[in-house]
Every structure is written in structure tokens, then in C-alpha cells.
Amino acid sequence: MFRCGIAYPRCRWIVPLLLLFAIIFDIIAIAATSGWVEDKDAKSHYASMWSQCRFRNDNWDCKSLMEFSWAQAVAALMIIGLIILIIAFIISCIALCCTLNISLLPVIGVLLFITVVIQFIALIIYPVRFNDLIFEGRYDYTWAYGFGWGATILCIGCGILFCCLPRYEDELTGLAKTKYIYTSA
């Protein structure tokens, strides 16, 4: 027999695992000391969420970005998003891994969408304000900034899954009858 579709009981373990990856991506983005922005050749200027460094007179001159209110807002929003994401992960482990508590799944979905909005705002503010601050040459947004977007995209996908999973309670518990696309006569 041929069976097609999502193996719902596996979602009980896969979706919290995806949230764990989103947490790891967020931690990488927040903790990176470089990798948010680099100049075109990556030889004379780079920045993280926290500071920027320039190469002048055979020496790296680093300055904190935390003196700017927009950088403080970006840091605060990213950290708040990470905290909400960790709370959603803990609740998802309780709701799916320990016991099956379907009523918590929409709550987790809402928390994830709040995280998406918060991090989306932070990830948009940073390049707009950084480009206003530095306007010479060409700059690339690199790996650590990409990890921030990766975490946000994972949160979007998991938020959709958590909002849709309550409709498939029987499938999650394994009580649903298997539906086959093709049966032999």
C-alpha cells in the first residue's frame, strides 16, 4: 500500500526540534562579534549587532554601536524575541513531548508570530539605520545577519504548524484510521 502525507506523530518531535534550531540561529546572530555587515572586500570595515570596526593606519579601530538608540532598539528586540522563542520552545516540549496538550498549540503559534514581528522589525531597522550611518562604498550583509533571518523564517514555519496542528488531533495521537490513496481490489 502507498501512503502519502505528513507523519503526524513525528511532528511531536520534529517541530520542537525546529524551534531548537531557531534558538541556536538566534544565539549565533546575537552573539556574533562580526558577520552582520562587511565592506565589499571584507578588508577595511565590518560590524556586528554590537560594534563596528575599521582598519586604519595598520590598526583595527572598534567602536560600540550601543551609543546609537537604533542599535539599542535592535539589540533589545532581538533579545526579547529570543526570550519569547525560548518560552515557546519550553511550552512546546511540555505540550508535545511530555504529554499531548492540544490546547497549548495555538498559544505557541501566537508566541512565535509575536517573535516573528519583533525580529522582523529588528532585522529591518539594522540595515536601514546602518546604511544611514555608513554611506561610503558597498556593504554586504553576511552570515550572522543571515542566521537572524534564518531564525525568523523557522519561526514563521513553526508558527503556521502550531496553528494548524490542533485540527489534526487524532492524527497526532495515532488514533486516526490510515487513509490510503491506492487500494488493490
For 21-68, write each residue's pLDDT tens digit: 999 999 999 999 888 888 877 677 888 889 888 888 888 888 898 999
Q: What is the pLDDT of residues 122-148, one digit of tens each?
A: 999 998 888 887 767 677 888 999 999
Whether the Cβ atoms of residue 47 and residue 60 lie closer than 8 Å to each other: no
Residues 162/108, Cβ–Cβ less than 8 Å = yes
Q: 39 by DSSP, 3-state: which?
A: strand
Given a cut of 70, whether residue 5 has pLDDT beyond it is no
For range 85-114, the mean pLDDT: 90
- Nine-digit cell string for 66: 550601543
Question: Could you give the CA distance from residue 174 to residue 185 in angstroms, rounded to a whole number?
Answer: 26
> How far apart, in Å, are the Cα atoms of 11 and each of 19, 171, 175?
12, 10, 15
pTM: 0.84
Other beta carbons less than 10 A from residue 65's beta carbon: 21
Render 47-93 in DSSP notation, one character per residue: E-SSEEEEEETTEEEEEESTTSHHHHHHHHHHHHHHHHHHHHHHHHI
Q: Read off the pLDDT band of 95 (50, 70, 90).
A: confident
Query: What pLDDT does 25 receive?
Result: 96
| Distances 95 to 11, 13, 78, 160 between C-alpha atoms, Å | 12, 11, 25, 16
The amino acid that residue 177 corresponds to is K
Question: Which one is predicted more confidently, 165 or 122?
Answer: 122
User: Among positive and negative, which fits the CA dihedral 139, 143, 145, 150?
Assistant: positive
Read off the pLDDT band of 1 (50, 70, 90): very low
pLDDT at residue 115 tops 80: yes
Average pLDDT, the chain: 85
